[in-house]
Structure formats: C-alpha cells, structure tokens
Amino acid sequence: MIPIRTVIDRIRWDPEFGRGEFVLGYWDRVAKRIVRVPLRRVSFAPGEHFWFEAVGEDGAVHEVPLHRVREVWRDGELVWERRVPEDAH
C-alpha cells in the first residue's frame, strides 16, 4: 500500500496528478465515522509529517494525525483507501 504521506505529497507537488478537486476522509474518533474535508480546507505546518489541520464545516480547526486518514477522493472518484477492521477503531 502506498503511504498516505506519499499520496498527499504527490497531490501537492505533481502538477499533473494534483489537478482536480481532492477530498480527504479521516476517522473521527468522537463521531465514530469518516469525516470528509476538501483539501482546500487542509493545511500542513512547515516540516510537519505526522498531522494536518482541517477546518470543519462548523469552522472549528481539527488536528488530524495522518494515520487516521482512510480515503482520498479526486473529482468524486476514490483514488486511495486504507481499510481498517471495525474493531480497530
């Protein structure tokens, strides 16, 4: 499996692959579901390789560890997925 960091780096730095509307789906431990956030509402601190900040629909900023990312969508098509057993949440 390709690591999520590699996928995100490719979106950010490969002009051909990075074209399109990307959405990250991450596991929210409180809501106990996958939350999808457009990549345009995600920011990475300089030099940070383990988490990102996502602005939720409510305007709240959430720090999300990369290991909780479960899906990457490009123009509505699932392009990357990490399956995790249900009991692992």
Residue type, 9: D
Cα–Cα distance measured from residue 82 to residue 57, given in angstroms and rounded to the nearest whole number: 24
Domain 4-88 has CATH 2.30.30: yes
Q: Where are the domains of the chain?
A: 4-88
Q: What 3-state class would DSSP assign to 55?
A: strand
Instruction: Give this prediction's pTM.
Output: 0.88
Please check the confidence at residue 55 and state whether its pLDDT lies above 60.
Answer: yes
Token output for 40: 């345009």
- pLDDT of 75: 97
Tens of pLDDT, residue by residue over 19-41, are 999 999 999 998 899 999 999 99
> How far apart are alpha carbons 87 and 34 in whole angstroms?
15
Nearest to 70, CA basis, from 19, 33, 20, 30 = 33
What confidence score (pLDDT) does residue 89 get? 55
pLDDT tens string 76-86: 999 999 987 66
User: Taking 60 as the threshold, does the pLDDT of residue 87 lie above it?
Assistant: no
